[in-house]
Structure 1
């Protein structure tokens, strides 16, 4: 075979393996979707600890009488038999706690929402209460 014959011979080109290409467009889409999800699902509230006293099985008699703050529905509260609006609770509690450091019992009344109980606890803390407990007379034996 001569050189002319070898050069005129058709060469069969074998197909090379296609290179796997990773498309970045779907990856970027997924990252943006996750970013948007976490931005919408994250809450930026300021969390604070709330010390809550737990009840004990045995009762010890005490000379100090607690303040009972009863949370009623529709933004009304009862403190010492006196019905108050939300604006007057902190001032009334602060006046009662100024005389003597007494525990404050937050009690749900008829139609009280859980959020209202937490607001009542916040008002008691703002008034200067150092001892706070949630009580439920309906659940007592």
Structure 2
């Protein structure tokens, strides 16, 4: 048998912690050196309680289920684009619409167009009913024109 020093051996200790009540004290710990950020050496995190809002998704829960809603994210998107008073339509963009790079006049604020489309892309992951329309208007992010913006407004 090989000597102990030649074997791959790592002693592992097992510590058990049993808690029968809530801890009402602050707990101080030291972070492992590889996780310390030299720019923020004393940066710590604190439990802020149950999750309520994260990445534009509102989280509600009851004992048997978890409900995720993006209504605030959508509402903010509508206000940002000044479309909060618009009426909804059933089909965001017709499949037969033909948008080209040379249609109409150029859009006056391409950065604004890109920011709205970027928000749409995030939203399209959870709203597959608008995926086709979002994909269509994303094709013109580099040089948006007025017909492309009108298509975006239909999605909004």
TM over 0.5: no
Alignment TM class, shorter chain as reference: under 0.3
Superposition TM-score, scaled by structure 1 size = 0.24
Structure with bigger RCO (C-alpha 8 Å, 6+ apart):
1
Q: Which has the larger radius of gyration?
A: 1
Superposition TM-score, scaled by structure 2 size = 0.23
The structure where strand makes up a greater share of residues is 1
The structure where helix makes up a greater share of residues is 1
